[in-house]
Structures are given as C-alpha cells and as structure tokens.
Structure 1
Amino acid sequence: MAGSGSVSFFLFLSLLLNFSTTHVNSNEQGYISFDISNKGLDFIKQFLVQMAETSLVPLDLPKIEKSKHIPLIGTVNMLISNLSINKIHVISSTVKAGDTGIVISVSGAYANMTMNWGYEYSNWWLPVPVMDSGVASIQVEGMDVGISFNLTNNQGSLMLTPLDCGCSVKDIFIKLNGGASWLYQGLIEVFEGRLTSAVENAISKKLRQGIVKLDSLLQSLPKEIPIRNIGALNVTFVGDPQLRDSSLILSINGLISAREAHAAPAYPHLFASLEHLLASIPLKDPASMVTISLHEKVLTSASSVYYDANKMHWIVDKIPEQSLLNTAGWRFIIPQLYRRYPNDDMNLNVSIYSPPHPKIDDDQIDLTIHADVVINVLNSGEVTPVACFSMIVSGSASPWISKNSLGGSIGLDEFYLSLKWSKIGNFHVNLVRVLMSTALRTVILPYINIKLARGYPLPTFHGYMLQNAKILCSDSWIKICSDVAAVKQLSIS
C-alpha cells in the first residue's frame, strides 16, 4: 500500500477496536453481550408502539347485522358495514421484563373509525318498506391493550412467541350523518356492545399477526455478515435471552472467522454460564439504554483472520520525517549504506510474522507486535533489499468516546530490534535501534495520535446512532455504555 503504508501500519492497533461483532457455535458461550436496561427497553417499546400506530391502520372490521323490535314501528333490520379504524393514538405505555417474558401495556389510547349504516322496516299499514342509509364517525376512547411475549433461542436465531394479547374498550361514541333522530339511540343500544367486541377482537388479532411477522423477520436475519471478502461475523445468538426485572440480556459468540470457514475457532469456554459471565463484568451503567460487552477474544479472532489473509504487510514510503527514507539520513548510522547508495530513496517492507494478541487491561488495550522490517533502496528504478531487522514493539491504546466520535491515543512501552541479515556488512545495530525508537516516540506516534485525537464518527444504523456513549476497559473486556437516539434528533440538539 504505497503512500499510506506507514499510517496503516501504526494505526493497526486502533483499527482492531473497530471489530465489535462476531462468530459462534451453538454450544459456545458468547463473547459479546448486550445488556438492555429498562431505559433501553422503553426506547424499543416506543419504537414498536409508533410502528403499531401506523401498521395497525387502516384496520377493517366485519359488517354487523342486527334486528330490533321498536313499538309502533315494528321490527327494524339494521346493518353497519365498511367499518374501518383509520387512526390509533397511544397516550401512555409501559414495558416490563420478567421471568415469564416481556409485557407491553398501553392505557388510555383512542381510535377514530368510520362506517356506513343502513336500516329497513315494514309493517302491514305501510304501503312500501321504509329504508335509509348514511355514514357515521366513531370515537373509541379509554382503550387498554396488553401484550406479552417470550424470547427464546431457536438454532441461533431469536424466536418471538406471543403469550397473551388482549384489548379492552371503555367508551364508544357514534356520530351519525343523516337519518331519523330516533335511530341514534337505537343504534347505540343495538351496536355498542358488538362494536366494542369487534374493535377489541380486531386489534388483538392484528397484534398477534404483527408478532408473527416480527418473529419471521427475526428468523430471517443472517447469521453471518461478511467483512471485506476476508472474514465473516457470525451473529448467531448463544443461549436463551435472559429476562430480568431491570434488563434484557442477549449474547452472541463474538468471534470473527475466515470467510471460507464454516465454524468458529475452537476457543475454550470462558464461563460455565451466562450468569457467571455477566457477574464477572463490573461497571454496568444503569442510566444507559444498553451496555455492550466485548471480550478480547473478538479482537484476537479479527487479528488472526487478517493475518491469515496476508493483510498484515505494508510498504512504508511516506513518514512525517521523510528524510529518514533517504540513505543520506543514515550516513552516520550505517555509513556503508550511504557510501554504496548515496542520496537514494528508501522504503520499508514491514511484515508481521505472527498474529498479534491484544490484551485488555484497566483503561487500556495492550498489544505486542512481532515484525520483520526490510530496508529497500530505490536505485535507478530498481528495488534492492539491503538489510532485514527483526522488531518487537509493545504498546498500549487508550480508547475514548466524545460526543459522537471514537478516538484514542497510542503509547510505546518497549522496542526491541535485532539484525536478521545484511548485504552491506556489519554495523552498529544499537544505533539503528536508538534512531528507530526515537523516531517512533517523537515523530511517528505523535503524528498518529494527532489523527486519533480528531476522532472518527460513530456509525449509524437505519437512522439511529449511539448517544452519550462511554467506553471502559477492564479485565479482558471492553464495555460501551450508551443511549440510542435518532440521527435527526441529534442534529437538532
């Protein structure tokens, strides 16, 4: 990657932080968990309620026929048809997670309806039957809806099972357009109960159908997500979701595997149960909607996949101190290099020869990189390797989230250098080590940290993104505690 190799190489540690979803076998523990608090469940509930308000309407109800005997008039045959609920508005709603499932309750909702009405009656003293028809508007008030469902793991997918669903209506007000005045009370008496039952049954049935559709959507979600034709994120769920009084906990395996592989790498189980796993992760923030916990095995699996795909190789031909990529800059360090190739440009061929294994500690991520660095001289259009060094770099990264950006800083802890081979004779490796260590500490890492300090925008998902997020590192885990908000809402605020 000429021109950008140096930045790519020294940003490698920070790039590992981008991998925060995963891979799985059904009998393994999850390496990523999502702890959704009551605040987060309330956000999801509001989203589902808004969807229900729009998806439930228009809702057509079956026609209702009824006959009623009225003194002096006789038997009146009545019909209401084209019954349709056109609008539903929810005033108040709650959500609660418990051992038996998730319960969403709606209270005080109202609905607007329209219908056609008609009647006909005849008597021996009437020469012809009497009939009339018209339209009516209906206001449904005091509507309470309750729905409960359970979440289980069905071969790695979430299965949504309705447990109970009901709707009750307190009042119905009918406003007739046209017709005799005596008919109003008759319609109220005849149809009020049946209209109430029709509304309650239709909404309950529609909600159950909605849960079935939502379950089908969950079942159809992919279990693997490709990453740049190199690896695959297996987002298969592990174990049943854990429903508690204050949260819903979901777990996925969290490992990344090569694209062509059909199974995740065989890592030992971290914990005997999901409860043990969650108990071992401190620092949950109950004020946040969701707490995402990411184990260091996820970063390790990403590192292994990229290493196996030969993606840990860089040609470094641009650095902040460009004079170091010319033999003149080395004339006092490696004199014979300058004498043989005076004022020739150079590049560095950097190859990591074993996959890095990040370690997550308190407030930082530690990483040790083993690499070979070949010095190439660019002479008359030819690339001539002149020496190869074996390098071990140990450093740490401290990630942070500010507003809507992910940033951090990288520090150098230890630097080792040894000569593997040379085509220009022996020279003082210690001088080279001092030069490269000084360049890393004073030039290259400060340059990278300036870029990292600017931050990178957090990704959005279908118009939503993280808000007020915090990132914490502790005891092999990265934790992100965050709220979720619509992108438009954030831009306005």
Structure 2
Amino acid sequence: MLKTWYFVLLCWLSLQLEANPGLKVRITQKGLDYGRRIGMELVKQAVLKETFPSWSGQESLSVVKVNYVISRLRINAVDFPETSASFIPGTGICLSVARASATISADWRMNAWLLKGKGEITVSISGLFISIIFNVSRDSTGHLSTLLHNCQLSIGSVKVKLSGRSSWIYSFLSGYLEKPIHTKLDKNLCLNIKYKIQMMDAQLKKHKVLSQIDTFAQVDYSLLSSPAVFKSHINLDLKGTVYPVGNHTDPPFMPAPFALPNQGDSMIYLGVSNYFLKSASLAYYRAGAFNITISEELATTFSLNTSLLKYFVSETSLSQAAACPVLLNLMATLPPAVSLNADRCVLQITGSVEVFAALPNSTTQYIFTGNLTASTTANLTITKQKLIISLLLKRFQFSLLHSNLGFPEQKSVVENFLSYALRRVVIPVINDKLGKGFPLLNLAHTSLTGPAIKMNQGHLVISTDVHYQPVDREDEDLHSHS
C-alpha cells in the first residue's frame, strides 16, 4: 500500500561519495502532500486489482468444530477519507490513514457435523487506522534504500455476511467468522506493507543512476549521502557530474558548496552548481562535440560563400570569380569556460578555425587560419523536464595566423566575416546539439508546472511544481480532488 508518487520521485537517486554535490534536490511539504494525494489514488487502483491467496481455518461452536475455506478473495471498494504525510526529522516519512473502510467479497466453503455448505461471503471493514514510518537512506552499494521503521494498525469493526440456502444458519455462523478475519487482518496488513516496501527497495537497487543525455555525454545522478530529512522538507545531494560516454574520469576540479533557499512555496527545488555546467563543458570537449565542420551543404543553406567574404574584404586573391561556398573547420583548443553570475550565465569558447572555399571542380582552396575566442551568454529554459541551453554570441576576438587573402593586416574585416559566420551558422549548429537538453527529473507520466530559474553567484535554482497525468487519459482527473 506504499506505492506512492513520491517513491517514484526518489527512485532515480543513488549514491557515490564526494565532498560537495553538483546538484541538490529539495522536496517540500507541498510536494509531499501532492505525492500523498496522487499516491493514495494509485493505491486505491492497485488494491482493487490485488489478488489474494485462499486461506482456511477452524472455529469451535460449543462442542462442534467448524472447518472453513475462504477463496477468490477480492476487494470491491475502498475509501481513505483521511490521509496525511509528514517528514520525520532524521528518519524518513510518515504516512497515516484514518477512518478507512473496505468491502471484500469471497467464496466460502464450510464443513461441520451434520452441516455442509458453500456460498459467498461479504466482509465490511470500517474504522481502519494505519500509521507507517519508513526510513530513507543509502545502502552499501550506493543506491537509495527504503526500510519499514514502524507500522501501527487498529481496526474498528469487521462485519461478515454469509449467503446461502440456509440463511438463518449462516447468519448465526457469520458472527463466529468475524474474529478470525479480524485476527488475520491484524496479523498480515503490516507484514504485507513491509513486503511491498522490500519490493520497492529491490527495484531501487536495479535503477541506473547514469542518465544518457545524447551520443556525447552521460550525467551521474547518484546520491552522495543519505537524504537529510527535516520537519518541512527532505534534501538530496547528488553527484551531478557529466561524463563523456564511456569515460568516467572525474574532472580535475571539485564542486564548491552552495545552499538552496529557505522556501517552501514550490513542490521541488533543484540547485544546479557551476561544477555541473563545468563538468558538462569538459565532457563535451573531451567527446569532441565542440569540433564543428561547416560543410558545403550547410554553407549553401546559410548562403555562406566567397561573395560574402568579398563584402568584408574588398580585394582577395581567390582564383574564382563566381561565388563558392565557404567551408569552416572549427576546433576547441580548451574546454569552454563556464561561469554563473547573479544575472547571467557566460560561456567562453577558445579554439582555432580554418577557412576554405569549395570550388566547382570539387576541390578546395585554402583562405586563412587563425585562433579565436568567443564570449557567449547562455539563455536557460526548461522544457519537458530538461534544462535547455541556448547560446548567444556577445563578443568575439580573432588572431590571424596565415592568410591567402593578400591583406593579413586587415584582421578586423576578417573578424567581421567570422562574427557573421558564427552568428548565422556555427552558433545555431551548437544550439542544435544543446537543444536535446540536460535531463533534470525522470518522473513517469509527470510534467513540470510553472518552473522558474533564478541565477545566483556560482549556482542556479529551479523551483517548480509537478503535474501527474494518469496513463489512461480517460481516468478521473486526480487534480480535481483536494
């Protein structure tokens, strides 16, 4: 009965020791309450589909022994009118259900001296109270672990109604079945909850903490330590390191400490450190993602040709009078430098560039080579649980190493041409690669609602609510209930 929504919220987390986290996640009381509400609806659906084994017993009616078998037990209705969820500091989460009720039906068979019978049985349970506390921690393998800490249970009443031919006898016998059914529930409900939590824990151990971003990089979302549980929220510190695919060498720099704001207006707060972005920059650099070739096809698409070059340089030594596509080979010579400030994110790219003309005879003619430094600002948005980064060129510097233009001293006009090429062609190509985004949360059938990004010195904070959408869109809208 603990397959609640916020378990799904935690199942993508695991562990690896590190000094400071690259990412922080906070789930507030508002998020827990939403998870409890969605979770109880999911529990209702699961309970109504649950199957139960047959069971048998014996009761004494004065000097008569009555043997009975209960089979095909099924839950027809269940109601949780009062539910609550709270954080238990230093321990985990408490779930409580009060005044719950259920209607159960089954087939029965009875055998006693001079009396045999069979029929249907209806069991009405009311006044059910249950309180569950479970720990959230990390296990020795580095995955999130859940463990039942305490389970308290009380049942107000159990009413049994037997149906069959000799109804007056079965009405008399019904009262004798209420006690064993009550005892059976007392004995097995908490055991069943413990089993469900163990199943959830086993699933968490199978969860992969490396999330594939694209063909270039993966991000490690493993937990650095056990979740820190406070009265108003739970904090999770994640490693938050981005690696090239297949190369999990840690970056040569460490994450700096940072803190999430003391707020609870949103369900979830996600802190993204400068370390996370720097490790992403290094990973993409190591994977060669910043090495870009502007092919003849791209140059033609964006009208990048020698006539445009002649617009910036009045006289050239190009041998062709007709306009030819201009090809660019760009190679990053250092990992792009990333810095988060209070109002913006800056990415500085350092590299080299070779420029050629694609001639009509399928050969190329060398034009010039140089070193470049481009300073860009990053526009950050969130789409479909992903952080999308889009670059905008702000400043550009170029040093000419060699040229066939005949005017090596006219560096500024060459810079103008390259600035145009970067803005119109190169930056859009980079943004297309970055457009796949960095996965933030991996919540099935869930979307982020009203996410907001706040820049800080050295880190940014994303605050958001979430919206759960049932698999079957014809299901009742869970958000119409409070």
Quickly name the TM-score band, shorter chain normalised: 0.7 to 0.9
SS of the residue aligned with 2:223? coil
Q: How many angstroms apart in 1 are the aligned matches of 2:215 and 2:302?
A: 34
1:79 aligns with 2:68: yes
- Mapping 1:438-449, distance limit 5 Å: none
1:60-139 correspondence runs (5 A): 60=53, 62-69=55-62, 75=64, 77=66, 79-82=68-71, 84-87=73-76, 88-99=78-89, 100-117=91-108, 129-139=114-124
Query: For residue 234 of structure 1, what is the aligned residue in structure 2?
Result: 220
AA in 2 matched with 1:329 = L
Q: Which moved more, 1:148-157 or 1:309-318?
A: 309-318
- What is the Cα-based RMSD across aligned positions, in Å? 3.7
Whether the aligned pair in 1 keeps the contact of 2:312 and 2:416 (CA below 8 Å) is: no
Decide which of 120, 137, 141 is 1:152's aligned counterpart: 137
Give the secondary-structure state (helix, strand or coil) at the position aligned to 1:251: strand
In 1, Cα distance between the equivalents of 2:192 and 2:402? Answer: 75
Equivalent positions of 1:359-374 (< 5 A) are: 359-374=339-354
1 CA distance for matches of 2:436 and 2:17? 37
Aligned to 1:341, the other structure's residue is in SS state coil
Question: What is the alpha-carbon distance in structure 1 between the residues aligned to residue 199 and residue 431 of structure 2?
Answer: 49
CA, structure 1 residues 330+182, in 2 after alignment: closer, same or farther (shift >3 Å)?
closer
Q: Measured at CA, do residues 61 and 101 of structure 1 come closer, stay the same or move farther in structure 2, by a change above 3 Å? A: farther
- Amino acid corresponding to residue 313 of structure 1 in structure 2: N
Aligned twin of 1:251: 237
Q: 1:311 aligns with which of 282, 286, 289?
A: 289
Q: Quote the offset at 1:313 in angstroms.
A: 1.6
In structure 2, which of residues 311, 319, 331 is the aligned counterpart of residue 351 of structure 1?
A: 331
Q: Radius of gyration: which is bigger?
A: 1
Cα shift readout 1:227-251 (whole Å, capped 9, x = no counterpart): 4454332222111101111111112
The aligned residue for residue 422 of structure 1 is 403
Q: List gaps (5 residues or longer) in structure 2.
A: 1-11
Higher relative contact order structure (alpha carbons within 8 Å, sequence separation ≥ 6):
1
CA separation of 1:345 and 1:231: change in aligned 2, threshold 3 A: closer
**Amino acid across the alignment from 1:163:** H
**2:6: which partner in 1?**
none
Counterpart check, 1:471 vs 2:458: no
Deviation at 1:65? 1.4
Cα deviation for residue 255 of structure 1 reads 0.6
Alpha-carbon spacing, 1:489–1:260, altered in 2? closer, same or farther (3 Å): closer
Q: Matched residue pairs, number?
A: 452
Deviates most, 244-253 or 182-191: 182-191
Secondary structure, aligned partner of 1:287: coil
CA displacement at 1:368 relative to structure 2: 0.8
Q: Which amino acid aligns with 2:83?
A: S
1-side partners of 2:73 and 2:245: how far apart? Answer: 51
Quote how far apart the aligned CAs of 1:50 are: 3.8
Alignment of 1:16-415 (within 5 A): 25-56=16-47, 57-60=50-53, 62-69=55-62, 75=64, 77=66, 79-82=68-71, 84-87=73-76, 88-99=78-89, 100-117=91-108, 129-154=114-139, 155-178=141-164, 180=166, 182-183=168-169, 186-271=172-257, 277-278=258-259, 281-282=260-261, 285-317=263-295, 318=298, 322-323=302-303, 325-331=304-310, 333-337=312-316, 339-343=318-322, 344-379=324-359, 380-401=361-382, 410-415=391-396
| Unpaired stretches in structure 1, ≥5 consecutive residues | 1-20, 123-128, 272-276
Q: TM-score, normalised by structure 1?
A: 0.80
| AA in 2 matched with 1:93 | T
The farther-off stretch of 473-482 and 156-165 is 473-482
CA distance in 2, matches of 1:28, 1:22: 17
Q: Report what 1:432 is aligned to.
A: 414
Give the stretch that moved more between structures: 426-435 or 134-143.
426-435
CA contact (8 A) 1:285 1:481 kept: no
Amino acid at match of 2:274: E
Q: With the length of structure 2 as denominator, give the TM-score of the two structures.
A: 0.82
